[in-house]
Amino acid sequence: MLCDLRKEAVDSNQKWLEKNCPRKVAKRMYSGYGECWKEACDDSGVDVIYVAAPAYLHASIALYGMNAGKHVFVEVPAARTIDDCWNIVETSERTRRHCMMLENCCYGEEEMLAWNLCHEGLLGSISHAEGAYIHNLTKRHLENSFRNRGHGKKSYCRGNTYPTHPLGPICQYLDINHGDRMNTIVSVSSGGFTWKDYIAETFGPDDWQSKLELDRGDINTSIIKTARGRTIMLQYDVTTPRPYSRINLVQGSRGCFWGYGFPARLYLTKGRPGTESGKDWMSRDEYEKYAAKYRHPLWRSVGGIAKKVGGHGGMDFIMDLRWAYCLQNGMPLDMDVYDLASWSSIVECSRKSDIAGGAPVEIPDFTRGAWKTAKPRKIGDVDLGKMGLDAKNV
């Protein structure tokens, strides 16, 4: 089944299936009006709804889908308000349907390496992590395109509206909701300079871009404190000119991993926790040895195929393969509805703090205390044979 507001999008996806997976072509297609996704959710031949519609629709489709008896997998962020986060948690519990956020960055090659380093104890006791979504989208956000049709007269952006790409993996390094939880957040934004300069130098006075009422900072920085006293620094910047980065740094008592150190870097103490082992990061040769030794089993078994066929360096393929495997084999998913809610709730919590000049804001405990006894999760491998697949021919 395929669904999209635009018929041409459904048709082009069906053509892709006809060419690449002729046995999997969609039997039914829904399109052409704003609520066509309701028909898709009501389709009795469907078990799972995969939501890649624009973010303002995520929570509505997730709630409708679960109420229609479907498991729902939803793009990031899954919800933009705390109320919607609670609604999704409560609906998932009531309907006994999965609702997982498709946080593909949790399956990035370096994120999974960092996860393994943390869980194998190589970095010691973890005290701090840093992440970011730094991606210069100024041109893309201000061009005349279908995506920007909803711009209206205002562009307001306070807090961190897209926190989960860096936060998801960090929460998995720190076992958030499984022995620790995010307690409070403080968040502040810089002034907004780049859009103003870009608009002034690019558009005429009659263009819609020049008439926008702007209230958006260039860079937002948040610090989250956890119940066990760890800190997470998060940045959000889709505006300024600099290379893409998710930072992806995790610090423990025995060392530090820094994914976006250009290239990735590792520093490990050779002595007792906290002692120095030199002034510089590990040499490339030494790093490569550790990266090979601690490569996550998922990347070991399907990384080669993932890089050939999967989007975003292979992580999209690994994520989809893994949730399908877990679902088909009755295993818990690597990311559950409580992760979805706590990671997505940062959108509203950071906005509240930013508007209040960086005042601390409490982050809700969507597990209602269950984080205290929940055991750390193990992200394992897949058995392709059980899925009827062959590693050479997925």
Ligand X SMILES: NC(=O)c1ccc[n+]([C@@H]2O[C@H](COP(=O)([O-])OP(=O)(O)OC[C@H]3O[C@@H](n4cnc5c(N)ncnc54)[C@H](O)[C@@H]3O)[C@@H](O)[C@H]2O)c1
Residues that bind ligand X (CB under 6 A): 3-6, 9, 34, 36-37, 52-55, 57, 75-76, 104, 147, 312
Q: Which of 159, 165, 173, 164 is nearest to 129 (CA)?
A: 173
Question: Which residue from 34, 169, 42 is spatially nearest to 106, judged by alpha carbons?
Answer: 169
Give backbone dihedrals phi and psi of 151, rounded to 5 degrees, phi first.
-60, -35
Nearest-angstrom CA–CA distance, 111 and 168 = 10
CB-wise, 147 or 386, nearer to ligand X? 147
Query: What's the min distance (Å) between Cβ of 37 and ligand X?
Result: 5
By C-beta, is 38 or 225 nearer to ligand X?
Answer: 38
Return the number of the residue (9 or 200) whose C-beta is nearest ligand X: 9
Cβ 163 to ligand X, closest distance in Å? 12
Given a contact cutoff of 8 angstroms between Cβ atoms, the answer to whether 343 and 160 are in contact is no
Say if residues 180 and 230 touch (Cβ distance below 8 Å): yes
| Least distance in angstroms from the C-beta of 94 to ligand X | 25
Cα dihedral sign, 199-204-207-210 = positive
State the nearest-atom distance from the C-beta of 55 to ligand X, in Å.
4
Q: Amino acid identity, residue 97?
A: R
Nearer to ligand X, 220 or 226 (CB): 220
Nearer to ligand X, 135 or 158 (CB): 135
SS3 category, 313 = helix
Which residues are 215's β-sheet partners?
156
**Which residues lie across from 245 on neighbouring strands?**
134
Of residues 256 and 346, the one with the C-beta less far from ligand X: 346
CB of 154 to ligand X, least distance (A): 18
**In the complex, residue closest to ligand X by CB:** 5
Task: Provide the minimum distance between the beta carbon of 41 and ligand X in the complex, in angstroms, as a whole number.
Answer: 11
